[in-house]
Chains A and B, each alone.
Chain A
């Protein structure tokens, strides 16, 4: 690659010869390991132009699918890696961090950085070895939860009401059922969280779940789980489904530990602080 080229970085991983053999990344480009001598760490990269990947939503989805496939394939061979986000590009030739004005290639810059960060990267790789990420999303289908509220709103009197009033009452009823679902969701969340925490090593709340309009969020979390505990999480979820038929469960994975890959903070980089 020319000195003005860049490296598209997929992951940092233990340096295992052959781990990237035959794997392709974005747009079918072959990926390779950039070994960082003396650290036991390698970066999974492809040679790229110094420009980010941009495109419409469909295009980005396709690239993300390709990135995820490449990272997952290599992760399954090495048992541990730190995946990077989409569009992590290391450019060559930029100003030297030391201010000496000397230009470095992308490989040199990435190698220098990995060398400097190696203790933290190695520690993080060790703590994630043999672990995977699972995604659990639970919602509550309100139509399957609440008995309809029959406080005169939909009795015979309703027929004589104006369209506006009927709409208003329907809204009110929807609101009541939403409120009952909120309370149920709170207690289901507390119980499910407790059971998941007894199995998973870490749980990160992810805020809002994907859900249909008639559903209420219960829990949306990324779990860090040992490979042989995946079934234990599955058992917690199937028990929940049996206890509360109105819950809808999405259970995704196992993935490389995307949500647990941040490199512990070193000397105050704004990017690291921002990522918290």
Chain B
């Protein structure tokens, strides 16, 4: 690194950007009207790569996202969803199967790859249905532990995922249409072979003093915008996150809050739900809630009374 503090320059070098372009061009861009699409073998394509369409439709079907699609498309997708199964080994028998997916990590691409989760008396397999390919599999003898884990989806919903720890120390994350059922069946199928507990304990979170819907007046170049999301007051910070963002857009350390003020202005909650936090660096954060009094009271209580730095949280 040089001492030069000039602006970073973006790169267009295809060796660096091609993977991103692939992703963007398969998922983004203007979508033309449905009437215009080409129908190939009765599969309508709306400007998506055919393989992405095939993989994605099943997921959309699973989560009820295709309600708005025309009958023909849905019928086709349902037909294709029925056409699935894995090649069993000799003497191997199927236990259960359901729509699901495997989280691919560690390579160039990180992301959920949808397919069907098959549990047999020997293996746990995630298979893409079309074109048929085994995305991931493990011998039951190698499964050390299984656990259900809540995960917030991009849409803000909480969904249970199945975490599987393997004998080689690696871990995998699977999604499944009925995670509890898969967890139960897998635990049965591995009976007597699993470790007593999952090899590590889930992350310990700070105590939540208050949690609920909160509006954040997010400053933007074109003027601030009220956004709805989830507010969380923990011992050391106020955190606000929108369901469409992957991380919080606001993290204010309670130690940095110098004042909490009421203001009688209009907000998405109607009149008078707005309150402002003033911070030590001269900044202000505008929030609104249906019950601003509760937030203001808890915020006030959570502020350390002495101007000492918060002790660093260890473990």
Contacts and interface: CB of A to CB of B under 8 A. Distances in A.
A213 B244 contact: no
Contacts of B50: 52, 54, 87
A85 interface: yes
A234 B247 contact: no
B70 interface: yes
B26 interface: yes
A50 B222 CA distance: 44
B35 A97 contact: yes
Given A54-B50, A113-B32, A273 B68 contact: yes
Contact of B14 (A65, A219, A262): A65
Contacts of A50: 38, 40
Contacts of A6: 38
Interface string B207-248: 000000000001111100000000000000101000011111
B46 A190 contact: no
A10 to B, nearest CB: 9
Interface of B: 5-12, 14, 16-22, 24-40, 45-51, 65, 68-70, 105-106, 108-111, 154, 169, 199-201, 203-204, 218-222, 237, 239, 244-251, 315
Contact of A232 (B7, B26, B35, B38): B7
B221 A234 contact: no
B246 A234 contact: no
Given A86-B26, A197-B218, A208-B110, A185 B247 contact: yes
A134 B10 contact: yes
A67 B10 contact: no
Contact of B110 (A87, A91, A211): A211
Given A60-B22, A252-B17, A210 B110 contact: yes
A265 to B, nearest CB: 11
A149 B312 CA distance: 14
Given A168-B200, A189-B247, A270-B70, A113 B33 contact: yes
Given A52-B49, A82-B30, A91-B36, 13 more contacts: A64-B26, A85-B48, A87-B50, A109-B35, A187-B237, A189-B251, A190-B251, A198-B220, A205-B246, A210-B110, A213-B106, A234-B10, A253-B10
Contacts of B34: 269-271
Contact of A238 (B6, B45, B204, B249): B6
A77 B247 CA distance: 37
B240 to A, nearest CB: 8
B169 A242 contact: no
Nearest to A170: B169
Interface stretch (A15-23, A28-36, A154-162, A171-179): A171-179
B38 to A, nearest CB: 4
B8 A261 contact: no
A87 B49 contact: yes
- The size class of the interface chain A forms with chain B is 35 or more
Given A86-B26, A252-B11, A261-B29, A198 B68 contact: no
Interface string A230-248: 1111110111011000000
Given A198-B221, A252-B17, A89 B30 contact: no
Contacts of B315: 149, 151, 176
A110 interface: yes
A254 interface: yes
A91 B32 CA distance: 12
B7 A110 contact: no
A51 B37 CA distance: 10
Given A52-B50, A253-B10, A254-B12, A85 B27 contact: yes
A242 B204 CA distance: 31
Contact of A186 (B30, B37, B251): B251
